[in-house]
């Protein structure tokens, strides 16, 4: 199935595709796009300061976060989605990170922002942003996935595009202070087994986090991809809870309370729990299970080049470690192929995979299946439903299927 150089050339010639595929160099010389002078070759460009804070090319204006209007009652307590099909590599550009706000995005003045640590501590403390910059800081790339990502897909295929089925995820490099250093400064008492994180936005978002996790790899972050956090991502301060559901990554972080038991607040009782068939509910399901999705081709990114050399690509991740392997099928699971991983393999980060093949022009049923470093293999949706029933919304990590027609259009379908 893997294309050789020879089959690449043959495919390009057969399909009559242009310069890009390697076999079309002769054609390119007659191409007016190359042969004729373009305006940008004949006039001077913008001066250096035309955009003091640069923006993407105007030809990339279609690359946008998008919401689904009927999903939420209003745009304040709402969600939009990362355009995964437009991205490559593993890093999400800051301006494209999906947003999930329970009471809108708060514009917090850093000069007036404080972080309090209180409760079962030897010293209750209040930090200014300046105070925080005097603690040692670290850099880590982590994905953040909302527990509700793919939630609409639980009972069957719904939304037509990986942006909407899988786009409640982003992956950036955080600069932040290990939470354990701030807790040590306050002196956690022996009875202090839980931490309540509270946001400064009007939603008063709070979540209980076990002390073990707080002392392990959590960060209090103030930079993403090198620049200050974006307003939408919790400027000036957010909690980073690697590998765990996005809801716990409290934005606009203002208070950390140490306690001896969980608080059982709204976001860990009526929300972010999964009602099982027997009427009981799964709760404290913090870790995000291994998952993957083919981003191209996909419904928003059809195959437009016809048969021949084709690049399939996608993303895989696990809240428990790295992704050593992703399998890809073109025929709905009859034959599986090992995808090629490319880029850094970092714990609790997105991983990029590719599979290059010669498309014969026949319909495809595309799926990807992630294996994580613990040996866990991504399940089918049927396997998930067998264990969890049909009431769930959160933690849907089932295998996604795209049907690609002869004309290259892709559609969200379900076969297993
Ligand atoms: N923190 C506060 N203070 N307010 C919020 O509404 N939303 C949570 C979490 N932290 C939220 C919050 C949810 S449900 C998710 S999935 C993530 O933030 C989304 O982070 P993002 O907007 O950076 O994508
Ligand atoms: Co969420």
222-265 residue pLDDT tens: 999 999 999 999 999 999 999 999 999 999 999 999 999 999 99
Each residue of 171-185: pLDDT tens digit?
999 999 999 999 999
| pLDDT tier for residue 28 given thresholds of 50, 70 and 90 | low
Quote the pLDDT of residue 27: 64
**H/E segment holding residue 10:** helix 5-15
Answer whether residue 2 shows pLDDT above 70: no
Q: Residues 72-85: what's their mean pLDDT?
A: 94
Instruction: Report which ligand 1 atom has the smallest distance to the Cα of 147.
Output: 16
Closest CA to 400 of 385, 386, 414: 414
Q: Give distance in angstroms: CA of 266 to centre of ligand 1.
A: 14
CA-angle at 283, arms to 292 and 159, nearest 5°: 40
Each residue of 108-146: pLDDT tens digit?
999 999 999 999 999 999 999 999 999 999 999 999 999
Radius of gyration of the chain (CA): 24
Answer whether residue 14 shows pLDDT above 90: no
Give the Cα separation of 255 and 118 in Å (integer): 8
Strands 253-259, 114-119: parallel, antiparallel or unpaired by DSSP?
Answer: parallel
Q: What is the percentage of the chain residues whose pLDDT exceeds 70?
A: 93
Q: Of 198, 220, 246, which is best to mutate to test ligand 1, by the most ligand atoms within 8 angstroms of its C-beta?
A: 246
Full set of structural domains in the chain with CATH: 78-283 (3.90.420.10), 291-413 (2.60.40.650)
Each residue of 144-162: pLDDT tens digit?
999 999 999 999 999 999 9
Length of the chain measured in residues: 416
Q: Give distance in angstroms: CA of 165 to centre of ligand 2.
A: 14
Quote the pLDDT of residue 11: 41
Backbone angles phi, psi at 40, to 5 degrees: -70, -10
């Amino acid at each position: 199935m893997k294309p050789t150089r020879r089959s690449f050339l043959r495919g390009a010639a057969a399909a009559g595709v242009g310069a890009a595929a390697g076999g079309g160099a002769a054609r390119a010389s007659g191409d007016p796009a190359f042969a004729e002078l373009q305006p940008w070759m004949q006039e001077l460009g913008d001066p250096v300061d035309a955009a003091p804070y640069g923006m993407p090319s105007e030809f990339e204006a279609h690359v946008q976060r998008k919401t689904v209007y009927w999903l939420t009652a209003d745009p304040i307590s709402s969600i939009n989605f990362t355009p995964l099909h437009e991205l490559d590599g593993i890093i999400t550009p800051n301006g494209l990170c999906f947003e999930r706000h329970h009471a809108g995005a708060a514009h917090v003045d850093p000069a007036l922002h404080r972080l309090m640590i209180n409760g079962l501590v030897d010293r209750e403390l209040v930090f200014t942003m300046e105070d925080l910059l005097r603690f040692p800081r670290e850099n880590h790339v982590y994905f953040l996935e909302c527990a509700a990502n793919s939630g609409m897909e639980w009972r069957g295929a719904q939304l037509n595009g990986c942006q909407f089925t899988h786009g409640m995820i982003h992956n950036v490099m955080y600069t932040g202070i290990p939470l354990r250093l701030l807790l040590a400064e306050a002196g956690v008492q022996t009875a202090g087994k839980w931490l309540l994180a509270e946001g400064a936005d009007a939603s008063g978002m709070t979540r209980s986090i076990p002390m073990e996790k707080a002392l392990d790899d959590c960060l209090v972050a103030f930079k993403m991809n090198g620049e200050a956090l974006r307003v939408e991502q919790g400027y000036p301060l957010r909690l980073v809870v690697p590998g765990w559901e996005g809801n716990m990554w409290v934005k606009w972080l203002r208070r950390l309370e140490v306690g001896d038991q969980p608080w059982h607040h709204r976001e860990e009782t009526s929300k972010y729990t999964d009602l099982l068939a027997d009427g009981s509910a799964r709760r404290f399901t913090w870790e995000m299970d291994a998952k993957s999705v083919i981003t191209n081709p996909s419904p928003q990114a059809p195959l437009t080049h016809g048969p021949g050399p084709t690049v399939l690509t996608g993303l895989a991740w696990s809240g428990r470690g790295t992704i050593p392997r992703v399998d890809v099928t073109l025929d709905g699971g009859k034959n599986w192929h090992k995808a090629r991983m490319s880029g850094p393999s970092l714990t609790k980060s997105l991983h990029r995979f590719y599979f290059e093949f010669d498309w014969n022009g026949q319909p495809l049923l595309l799926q990807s299946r992630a294996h994580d470093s613990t040996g866990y293999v991504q399940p089918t949706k049927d396997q998930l439903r067998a264990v969890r029933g049909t009431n769930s919304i959160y933690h849907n990590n089932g295998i996604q299927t795209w049907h690609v027609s002869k004309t290259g259009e892709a559609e969200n379908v379900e076969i297993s």
